[in-house]
Structure 1
Amino acid sequence: MKFKLPLLLIISLFFLSCDKENKTSKEVYIKGQIANPSSEYVVISKNNINIDTLRLDKNNRFEGNLKDIEAGLYVFRHPPENQIIYLEPGDSTLVWLNTLEFDESLNFSGKGSEKSNFLTNLYLLNQQDNDLILSYYKSDPSEFAKKTDSIRANRKQKLIDLEEKYEVSQDFYKIANSSINYEYYDLRERYAFLIRKYNPSLVEKIPSDFHDYRKDVSFNDTILEDSYVYLNFIDDFLRTKTLEDCAKIKPNDKNCTNLNSFENIKSRIELVDSLIQNKNIKNTFLDRLASQGIIYSQKEENIDLILNLLKNMDYSGNMKNGIAQMAKIQSDFLPGNSLGDKVYINTKKDTVKLKSFTRKPTITYRWMSSSSSHYIWQQDIIKNLQFKYPEVDFIGINLDMADPDKWIEVIKNNSFDPKLQFQATNIRVDENLLKNYLNKLIFMDAKGTIIRGDLQINTPDLEKKILEFISQQ
Structure 2
Amino acid sequence: MKRLIAVFVVALCFACNEEAKVDYTLFSGKIENPKDLKVTILKGREKVKEITLNNNGTFADTLKVEAGFYSLSHGGETSAIYLSPKDNINVTLDTEMFDETIAYTGAGSQNNNYLAAKYMANENANIDIAKLYSSNETEFLSAINDIKNSKFKLLKVQKDLNPEFVSIEEKNIKYDYLSFIQNYPSAHKYYSKNEAFIPSPEFMKPLENLDYKNQTDYTSVESYKNLVKNHYVQKIGEADSPTEVFEFINKEAFPELKNDLASTLQYRIAPNNDDNKVYYEGIMGLSSDEKFKDNLTKDYNKIQKLVKGMPSPKFVNYENHKGGTTSLDDLKGQFIYIDVWATWCGPCIAEIPSLKELEKKYHGKNIAFVSTSIDVESAHDKWVKMVNDKELGGIQLIADNNSKSQFVTDYAINSIPRFLLIDPDGNIVSADAPRPSDPKLIELFNELNI
TM (norm. structure 2) is 0.74
Corresponding letter in the other structure for 1:288: T
1:352/1:272 Cα in 2 relative to 1: closer, same or farther (>3 Å)? Answer: farther
Q: 2-side partners of 1:221 and 1:102: how far apart?
A: 34
Asked whether the 8 Å contact 2:373–2:397 carries over to 1, the reply is yes
Match of 1:18 in 2: none
Task: Within 5 Å, give how 1:223-302 maps onto structure 2.
Answer: 224-225=218-219, 228-234=222-228, 236-238=230-232, 245=238, 270=246, 273=249, 277-290=253-266, 292-297=267-272, 302=275
More deviation, 171-180/90-99: 90-99
Asked whether the 8 Å contact 2:29–2:59 carries over to 1, the reply is yes
| 1:176-229 deviation per Cα after TM superposition (whole angstroms, max 9, x unaligned) | 11111111111222223333443578745x362643344234455445547553
1:192/1:51 Cα in 2 relative to 1: closer, same or farther (>3 Å)? Answer: same
Q: 2-side partners of 1:330 and 1:275: how far apart?
A: 29
Instruction: State yes or no: 1:363 paired with 2:331.
Output: no
Q: 1-side partners of 2:44 and 2:318: how far apart?
A: 42
Instruction: State yes or no: 1:159 paired with 2:131.
Output: no
Q: 1-side partners of 2:134 and 2:353: how far apart?
A: 27
1:234/1:447 Cα in 2 relative to 1: closer, same or farther (>3 Å)? Answer: same
Asked whether the 8 Å contact 2:359–2:393 carries over to 1, the reply is no
Match of 2:307 in 1: 334
Asked whether the 8 Å contact 2:39–2:51 carries over to 1, the reply is yes
- Find 2:205's aligned residue among 207, 211, 223: 211
Give secondary structure in 1 for the equivalent of 2:49. Answer: strand
Give secondary structure in 2 for the equivalent of 1:324. Answer: helix
Q: 2-side partners of 1:269 and 1:35: how far apart?
A: 50
- Find 1:386's aligned residue among 338, 345, 359: 359
Asked whether the 8 Å contact 1:347–1:408 carries over to 2, the reply is no
1:468/1:121 Cα in 2 relative to 1: closer, same or farther (>3 Å)? Answer: same
Asked whether the 8 Å contact 2:31–2:93 carries over to 1, the reply is yes
1:229/1:364 Cα in 2 relative to 1: closer, same or farther (>3 Å)? Answer: same
- Find 2:185's aligned residue among 192, 196, 200: 192
Asked whether the 8 Å contact 1:186–1:237 carries over to 2, the reply is no
1:318/1:381 Cα in 2 relative to 1: closer, same or farther (>3 Å)? Answer: farther
Give secondary structure in 2 for the equivalent of 1:30. Answer: strand
Instruction: State yes or no: 1:63 paired with 2:63.
Output: no
More deviation, 341-350/96-105: 341-350
Q: 2-side partners of 1:42 and 1:427: how far apart?
A: 25
| 1:58-114 deviation per Cα after TM superposition (whole angstroms, max 9, x unaligned) | 2222211224x4322223222533332222222221212334444343322222211
State percent identity of aligned pairs.
Answer: 20
Match of 2:279 in 1: 306
Number of aligned residues: 418
| 1:147-195 deviation per Cα after TM superposition (whole angstroms, max 9, x unaligned) | 4344434433443443xx32x4432222111111111111222223333
1:374/1:156 Cα in 2 relative to 1: closer, same or farther (>3 Å)? Answer: closer
Q: 1-side partners of 2:421 and 2:264: how far apart?
A: 24
- Find 1:345's aligned residue among 293, 311, 317: 317
Instruction: State yes or no: 1:115 paired with 2:111.
Output: yes
- Find 1:319's aligned residue among 287, 292, 295: 292
1:218/1:468 Cα in 2 relative to 1: closer, same or farther (>3 Å)? Answer: closer
More deviation, 221-230/82-91: 221-230
Q: 1-side partners of 2:248 and 2:80: how far apart?
A: 24
Q: 1-side partners of 2:113 and 2:298: how far apart?
A: 41
Match of 2:11 in 1: none
Q: 1-side partners of 2:125 and 2:290: how far apart?
A: 31
Q: 1-side partners of 2:348 and 2:40: how far apart?
A: 26
Q: 2-side partners of 1:297 and 1:272: how far apart?
A: 26
1:451/1:408 Cα in 2 relative to 1: closer, same or farther (>3 Å)? Answer: farther
Q: 2-side partners of 1:335 and 1:364: how far apart?
A: 15
Instruction: State yes or no: 1:395 paired with 2:388.
Output: no
Q: 2-side partners of 1:138 and 1:311: how far apart?
A: 37
Cα distance, 1:355 vs structure 2: 4.7
Q: 1-side partners of 2:100 and 2:130: how far apart?
A: 22
Corresponding letter in the other structure for 2:73: R
Task: Within 5 Å, give how 1:53-202 maps onto structure 2.
Answer: 53-67=50-64, 69-126=65-122, 131=127, 133-162=129-158, 165-166=159-160, 168-197=161-190, 198=192, 199=194
Instruction: State yes or no: 1:37 paired with 2:13.
Output: no
Q: 1-side partners of 2:223 and 2:117: how far apart?
A: 13
Q: 2-side partners of 1:129 and 1:412: how far apart?
A: 26
Structure 1 residues not aligned, in runs of 5+: 1-22, 250-262
Match of 2:423 in 1: 445
Q: 2-side partners of 1:35 and 1:269: how far apart?
A: 50
Give secondary structure in 1 for the equivalent of 2:429. Answer: strand
TM (norm. structure 1) is 0.71
Q: 1-side partners of 2:233 and 2:51: how far apart?
A: 38
1:297/1:319 Cα in 2 relative to 1: closer, same or farther (>3 Å)? Answer: farther
Instruction: State yes or no: 1:466 paired with 2:446.
Output: no
Corresponding letter in the other structure for 1:193: S
The higher radius of gyration belongs to 2
Structure 2 residues not aligned, in runs of 5+: 1-19
Corresponding letter in the other structure for 1:74: Y
Q: 2-side partners of 1:97 and 1:285: how far apart?
A: 35
Cα distance, 1:393 vs structure 2: 0.7
RMSD: 4.4
